């Protein structure tokens, strides 16, 4: 009983220290998320991609990492792209990159892990989108993706209305408070879980499985990310706690990439517009790309690049 009580007190102190170090990033992330979600709508993104379809894979990847769309918003954009007979390359590029990152998630991860890690994650999201798009184009040219499209009407109660509306400052302040409160609760809750588990699990175990220098740490993290990732707001504080217990930065990066792109929301949304050959291609790109990114980042850390 004394051990649990002391562990709870220690966990509270660690969470409080982490919050004090990261609250400016949480606030900035909240403000960016509210502004982008208010003024960047799924229908506008879809219309932009259709209008500039000649930009192809590069345009789709750029829009994917620059917009804060939810899973069903991403699905709506993909349906709009496919309705205008855009080839699979840009579609797969968007499917790979969109769930991974966004401007507010760049700020959020910078607060928890530092700018080198956050920028590496952002760059990896772009490179994987481009790589997935090129691979999809090559496979499509061989006829292997024929008949893989399917369309299901998207019903999303959490997405914003698609009609442009004028948003008054009080509404923005209210939305900022609601979004910030939700992010704060998830941050505190999952950071608490992470640090509490760290107190129960010997740090040597985490280092033995996920530590730097273990050739299998990155593949294990990338594979565990497939079924265990929840969402960015909840998973990042958990990963921060694991890093404090000895997890390598490369393993953390691999978990984030494979998990974010293959979360339940991302995969269920993908299956509404594409069949398993396309969805499987996206998952393979994310899994292999997560491992490659994790190994590359660990090598940079060892070489002193970050």
- What is the reported pLDDT for 49? 57
Q: Among the ranges 157-161, 187-191, 292-296, which has the highest mean pLDDT value?
A: 292-296
Share of the chain above pLDDT 70, in %: 64
- Please give the Cα distance from 162 to 294 (Å, whole number): 38
- What is the reported pLDDT for 238? 76
Residue 157 tokens read as 């109660």
More confident call, 289 vs 272 = 289
Name, in order, each residue with C-beta under 8 angstroms of 191's C-beta and a sequence gap of 6 or more: 14, 15, 18, 19, 237, 238, 240, 241
Q: Based on the structure, what is the number of domains in the chain?
A: 1
Provide the 10 A C-beta neighbour count for residue 265.
16
Handedness of CA 117, 69, 263, 158 (dihedral sign): positive
Residue 15 tokens read as 């969470």
* Model confidence, pTM: 0.70
Segment (H or E) for 208: helix 203-210
- Letter string b/e over residues 174-203, b meaning 16 or more CB atoms within 10 A of that residue's CB: ebbeebbeebbebbbebbbbbbbebbeeee
- Please give the Cα distance from 162 to 44 (Å, whole number): 8
Structural domain including 155 reads 2-303
Provide the 10 A C-beta neighbour count for residue 247.
23
- Please give the Cα distance from 32 to 26 (Å, whole number): 10
Inform me whether the pLDDT recorded for 163 exceeds 50. Answer: no
């Amino acid at each position: 009983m004394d051990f649990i009580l002391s562990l709870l007190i220690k966990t509270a102190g660690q969470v409080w220290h982490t919050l004090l170090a990261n609250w400016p990033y949480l606030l900035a992330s909240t403000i960016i998320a509210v502004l982008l979600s208010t003024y960047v709508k799924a229908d506008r993104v879809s219309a932009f991609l259709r209008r500039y379809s000649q930009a192809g894979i590069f345009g789709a990847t750029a829009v994917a990492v620059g917009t804060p769309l939810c899973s069903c918003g991403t699905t709506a954009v993909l349906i709009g792209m496919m309705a205008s007979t855009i080839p699979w390359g840009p579609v797969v590029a968007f499917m790979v990159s969109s769930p991974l990152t966004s401007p507010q998630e760049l700020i959020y991860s910078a607060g928890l892990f530092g700018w080198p890690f956050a920028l590496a994650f952002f760059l990896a999201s772009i490179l994987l989108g481009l790589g997935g798009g090129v691979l999809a184009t090559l496979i499509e040219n061989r006829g292997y993706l024929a008949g893989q499209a399917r369309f299901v009407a998207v019903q999303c109660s959490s997405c914003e209305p698609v009609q442009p509306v004028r948003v008054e400052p009080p509404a923005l302040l209210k939305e900022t408070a609601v979004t910030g409160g939700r992010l704060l609760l998830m941050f505190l809750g999952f950071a608490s879980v992470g640090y509490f588990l760290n107190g129960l699990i010997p740090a040597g175990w985490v280092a033995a499985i996920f530590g730097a220098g273990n050739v299998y740490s990155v593949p294990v993290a990338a594979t565990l990310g497939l079924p265990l990732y929840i969402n960015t707001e909840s998973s990042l504080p958990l990963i921060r706690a694991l890093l404090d217990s000895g997890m390598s930065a490369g393993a953390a990066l691999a978990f984030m990439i494979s998990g974010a792109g293959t979360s339940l929301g991302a995969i269920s949304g993908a299956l509404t517009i594409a069949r398993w050959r396309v969805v499987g291609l996206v998952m393979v790109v994310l899994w292999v790309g997560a491992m490659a990114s994790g190994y590359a980042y660990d090598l940079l850390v060892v070489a002193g690049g970050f």
